[in-house]
Structure 1
Amino acid sequence: MKNILFVADPLDHFKIYKDTTFSMMREAQRRGYRIAACLPQDIQWKSGGVVTATVQQITLTGDAKDWYRIDITEAKALKDFDAVLMRKDPPFDAEYIYATHLLEQAEREGAHVVNKPRALRDHPEKLAIMEFPQFVTPTLVTRSAQAVRDFHAEHGDIILKPLDGMGGMGIFRVKQDALNLGSIVETLNKDGAETIMVQRFVPEISQGDKRILIIAGEPAPFVLARIPQGTEVRGNLAAGGKGVAQPLTPRNREIAETVGRALAPRGLLLIGLDVIGDSVTEINVTSPTCFQEITEQTGFDVPAMFIDALEATLRQQGR
């Protein structure tokens, strides 16, 4: 029986009706895998030894409320798992980076970690888009309040966001009137102490912020368009957006295949590409979501596509 470890947020915080990590666990268990879970803070490395973690071996029960049973809690070397899936949600802070260093050491000891720890560090989710300027709306990354004002004067209608947010957190729109621009910049960049991202507003957000899932370099055939509701500018599901599954368009496929060809070989087995209109707005690599929403609305089994890809990589390594 193969063993798979999920490094994730606390299990009791999962909303299993929509949680992507849960859907991965369920598909893995269906195929006969033994499931374990731990938090990033459960991982440790003692000098002279290997990287270990205190993990909970669990069984999924099929019950909507008490959805898992803990079979045993034990300390185990990460290299002894067939795969280690890093599924901790942002923020992408110093503790997250330290966790990737420990996971990278576990790789050197023989662990198979997905996504690859170095690739996680090298592709912060908002900054990663800058590698693909042909697909990006005019974008500025800066600490300078004056540079933001100059960008607004050039483009008129802009979006401002922190680099470490998730779920639409901390996103602001400033229109031509520049109302509250100074206050927003001060709030986000903390008087020049923190870097922010500024982008020209993409009006196609009214048709949705599309999540395209790229697995082993190949886009899934359906996307989830997250459509803002009411007066909200954000399409994120966490901000109240409505998720509507749609077929992958030829243009979406072109964008996704270009990004996938570049990034998958770097160790990014799973990528969540966010596209508004023809513009890539984020490249999510830490814990991309939307598996269950796409599967439930279309019948296409995204968790199966992902576990198929994971198993292919394990076979390549002789596991």
Structure 2
Amino acid sequence: PSVTAPSCESGDDPLAGGGLEAPDPVSANMQLLDVDRTSVENIDLLLSRLVGSMDRGNSELAEHSGGSPRRWRAWDPRAASDLTEVDALEMHRWVQDPSPLAWPRARQRMRRNRGGLVAVLRDVSMSMTGVNATWSARVTLALIDAARQRRMRLGYIEFNHRSKKYCHQDGTFFSDDYNAISDAALNLSCQGWTNYEAPLADALREFAALGPGGGAGGQPRQQRHVLLITDGVPTHGDPEVRLQRARAQDLGVVVHSVYLGWPLRYPPALEALSESTRGSQFAAFYQPPKRHPSPVRTRVSGEVKEPRKRAPLGSGLDSGYICVVER
């Protein structure tokens, strides 16, 4: 299915057919936006920490009616389906002398959590123009690739003072159409101001529409993550996003934040948002290159050698790189 912005500003689908031009459009799009080699290495380090949180959740065992019997638990007579899991010998003994204080044991079926949901909220306000836009788009593409490998459905929102949510034509937000979402992430146009509240509200509304995140009805807990990438403090909406913080906690959503700026100026609203939901916090800032020495002439051959320079990748930075630190 194609992907389109629900605001329907244009009647055409700008992302239709994404993924038909190349065997692996996600990787091809990443190569288009590759910044210099050091920045790409730092992106890999950032993603390794983010997906580490996802992988820990995916490796956890959760109770599931279709899982394998892993351990014993007390039989719950209120669940009729549990009767088939009760140990026959203990049930026979219990029937001879029934007591609510000593229920027979039943098999507890469990399986490892698989998949999950990820929403990327990417700042496209005016201050993101240039290097920040390219770098944040490249991070988004890397996360799309990580989600694809882990079979996680992904949603994508761009925001300035307004929120622009990308959905399928049928209204579905979370999708496994990674090629089309990666095409959307190639957008480098930036304008407007900054509002955290609107995109967070949109993303949490989509999580809420899928029901609670905890294992109700014998279903495993579903991993739910948000990655918020921004370079500024909010100028519109609630700067503290109090309602969204509480809502994220209720829904079991983990909000990871990446601030494009100096670590000591990390926005308090971002810090509170990630801390309250047990998410990771990163600061990414431009690191100027070291001053290159002047050309030197070798003593033996007299040959003039230029100082060694890092080879840039794609359409990235001419010099310097984006440094990433975790808070």
- Larger CA Rg, structure 1 vs 2: 2
Q: Which TM-score band applies after superposition, normalised by the shorter structure?
A: under 0.3
Query: Which structure carries more relative contact order (alpha carbon 8 Å, separation 6+)?
Result: 2
Judging by fraction of residues, say which structure has more strand: 1
TM-score, structure 2 as length reference: 0.25
TM-score, structure 1 as length reference: 0.25
